[in-house]
Structure 1
Amino acid sequence: MSSNWPEGVGRIILPEIDSTNAEAARRVGSLAGPVWILAHRQTKGRGRRGRAWSDPVGNFSATYVARPDGPPDQVALRSFVAALALDEALVAVTGRPDSFAIKWPNDVLLHGGKLAGILLESVGENARVNHLAIGIGVNLRHAPEPEEGALTPVSLLAETGVQITPEEFLGILAPAYARWDAQLSTFGFGPVRQAWLARAARLGQPIVARTVAQSFEGTFVGIDSSGALLLQMPQETRAIPAAEVFFS
Structure 2
Amino acid sequence: MPWPETYARHVLVEVDSTNAEAARRMDGLAGPAWICALSQTAARGRRGRAWNSPAGNFAATLVMRPTEPPETVALRSFVAALALYDALSDLTGTEAGLALKWPNDVLLNGGKVAGILLEGLPHGGLAVGIGVNLIAAPDRAMLEARAVAPVSVLSETGVRIQPEKMLDALAQAWAIREEAFVTYGFAAIREAWLARAARIGDTITARTSREETIGVFETVDATGQLVLNTPSGRVHIAAADVFF
- Name the TM tier (shorter chain): over 0.9
- Distance in 2 separating the partners of 1:65 and 1:33: 9
Tell me, yes or no, if structure 1 residue 69 matches structure 2 residue 52: no
Q: SS where residue 190 of structure 1 aligns? A: helix
Q: Tell me the equivalent position of 2:195.
A: 198
Q: Aligned-pair distance for 1:236?
A: 1.2
Identity of matched residues, %: 56
Q: Tell me the equivalent position of 1:233.
A: 230
Calculate the TM-score normalised by the size of structure 1.
0.95
Q: SS where residue 177 of structure 1 aligns? A: helix
Deviation digits for residues 124-149 of structure 1 (CA, Å, limit 9, x no counterpart) = 56xxxx11100000000011101232
- Distance in 1 separating the partners of 2:200 and 2:96: 15
Work out which of the residue numbers 122, 126, 131 in structure 2 matches 1:132: 126
How many residues are treated as equivalent by the alignment?
A: 241
Work out which of the residue numbers 38, 41, 45 in structure 1 matches 2:39: 41
- Single out whichever of 140-149 and 182-191 deviates more from structure 2: 140-149
The one-letter amino acid of 2:65's match is: R
- Distance in 1 separating the partners of 2:122 and 2:232: 38
Deviation digits for residues 135-165 of structure 1 (CA, Å, limit 9, x no counterpart) = 0000000111012321111010011000110
Deviation digits for residues 59-117 of structure 1 (CA, Å, limit 9, x no counterpart) = 00000000112100000010000000000001111122121000000000000001000
- Distance in 1 separating the partners of 2:121 and 2:108: 32
The one-letter amino acid of 1:239's match is: H
Deviation digits for residues 21-61 of structure 1 (CA, Å, limit 9, x no counterpart) = 00000011111110000000000000000110001110000
The one-letter amino acid of 1:162's match is: V
Q: Tell me the equivalent position of 1:159.
A: 156
Calculate the TM-score normalised by the size of structure 2.
0.97
> How well do the aligned residues superpose, as a CA RMSD in angstroms?
0.9
- Distance in 2 separating the partners of 1:231 and 1:28: 38
- Distance in 1 separating the partners of 2:232 and 2:189: 29
Q: Tell me the equivalent position of 2:219.
A: 222
Q: Tell me the equivalent position of 2:104.
A: 106
Q: Tell me the equivalent position of 2:186.
A: 189
Q: Aligned-pair distance for 1:212?
A: 1.0
- Distance in 1 separating the partners of 2:10 and 2:86: 22
The one-letter amino acid of 1:193's match is: R
The one-letter amino acid of 2:81's match is: A
Q: Tell me the equivalent position of 2:136.
A: 142
The one-letter amino acid of 1:144's match is: P
Q: How does 1:6-85 map to 2 (within 5 A)?
A: 6-85=4-83
- Distance in 2 separating the partners of 1:18 and 1:235: 45
- Distance in 2 separating the partners of 1:163 and 1:210: 35
Could you list the structure 1 runs, at least 4 aligned residues long, displaced by more than 4 angstroms after superposition. Answer: none
- Distance in 1 separating the partners of 2:115 and 2:48: 13
The one-letter amino acid of 1:189's match is: F
